Amino acid sequence: MWHAGERAVQRRTGQQERADHTGRSIGRTVPPVAARFLTERRTIVVAAADPAGRLWATQLAGPPGFVRADGDHAVLVAARPVPGDPLAEVLAGPAEVGTIALDAAGRRRMRLNGRSVPHGPDGLRITAEQVYANCPKYIQRRSPRELPAAAPAAVAGDRLALAQQLAVASADTFFLATAGPDGRVDASHRGGFPGFVEVLGPDRLRWAEYTGNSMFMSLGNLELDPAAGLLLPDWDTGGALLLTGRAEVDWSDPAAPAVDYTVHRTVELAHATPFAWTPPEFSPRAAPPAPLTNPGPPPPSRPNTSPTCHILLPIR
């Protein structure tokens, strides 16, 4: 079940037995409860590699029902990336993808990884290879609100502009794209109090890794391949900031690893989705982080002090 990178991280953190237990929840089918969950979603995050091997994560959006199960082994998505999105051309053909569907209002999420092919003029069909739910920890509660129609626009760069640095420093959520040794792509969610991602410069970021489900799929992938993409939604405008680069895990404290991220390319998308979101109700797990560049004893409420992550969306 686990590849060598995932196993190495599970052993390093002493979570091998727990990972084996949690890993039994991973399936290859889309059961009815998961199908209902997907049908209610307004967005889905999709991660994939571009022709140069760079990993990106992007967000697709639509009305309820734009994501739906197609039998027990596939999902249909009635949307593709907007023009200028680095995955627009990638998803116009077959691709290995990782996806995560997030219910921000209900603090639920599920992941589906597999093979994507174009479906119809503007959609995708994803054959499921891994289907599993994640726990609600670190999800900020918010609800979508419609925006007036506007044409999407994209601006690319090779480092973060000052306004983008400020946006990253105030982010409470991002999505992470990584890939395993077999080329399978994974998309995962990260959340925390604003400031949990520290901006060290126009091309350097750092964040703490909080405890989750003990499977360590993202960190396991990074153990073998440092390529990684970040998606930071602009909850106020419907835009998004997409980054691709290299992530290295600092294991100096195995109980509280941190990730150093080097930005290689940026794409800022305006009007990437047709709606914005209400102000967040922060997760009870979120707490102001201690600066990672000057580490000291973590405060008692620091999120990575809890070892338990309960899954609220049973999918088997």
- Does some domain include residue 270? yes
Instruction: Report which of 148, 105, 142, 164 is spatially closest to residue 237, judged by C-alpha positions.
Output: 148
Q: Model confidence over 159-194: pLDDT tens digits?
A: 999 999 999 999 999 999 999 999 999 999 999 999
3-state secondary structure string across 21-42: HHHCCCECCCCHHHHHHHHCCC
* CB-count exposure of residue 214 (10 Å: 0-12, 13-18, 19+): buried
**Cβ atoms of residues 47 and 97 within 8 Å:** yes
What single letter denotes the amino acid at residue 143?
S
- Does some domain include residue 314? no
Helices marked H in the chain — which ranges? 4-12, 16-23, 32-39, 162-169, 217-224
- State the residue range of the domain holding 38: 4-305
Question: How many separate domains does the chain show?
Answer: 1
Average pLDDT, the chain: 90
The pLDDT value recorded for residue 49 is 98
- Does some domain include residue 49? yes
Q: Model confidence over 205-259: pLDDT tens digits?
A: 999 998 777 889 999 999 999 999 999 999 999 999 999 999 999 999 988 999 9
The pLDDT value recorded for residue 292 is 57
- Does some domain include residue 122? yes
Q: Model confidence over 43-100: pLDDT tens digits?
A: 999 999 999 999 999 999 999 999 999 999 999 999 999 999 999 999 999 999 999 9
Specify the CATH number for the domain of residue 193. Answer: 2.30.110.10
**Cβ atoms of residues 150 and 271 within 8 Å:** yes
∠ Cα 129 101 43 (to 5°): 130
- Does some domain include residue 316? no
- Does some domain include residue 315? no
- Does some domain include residue 79? yes
- Strand, helix or coil at 305? helix
What are the CA-CA distances from residue 250 to residues 2, 41, 95, 207 (Å)? Answer: 22, 35, 31, 10
**Cβ atoms of residues 26 and 113 within 8 Å:** no
Dihedrals phi, psi of 24, to nearest 5 degrees: -70, -10
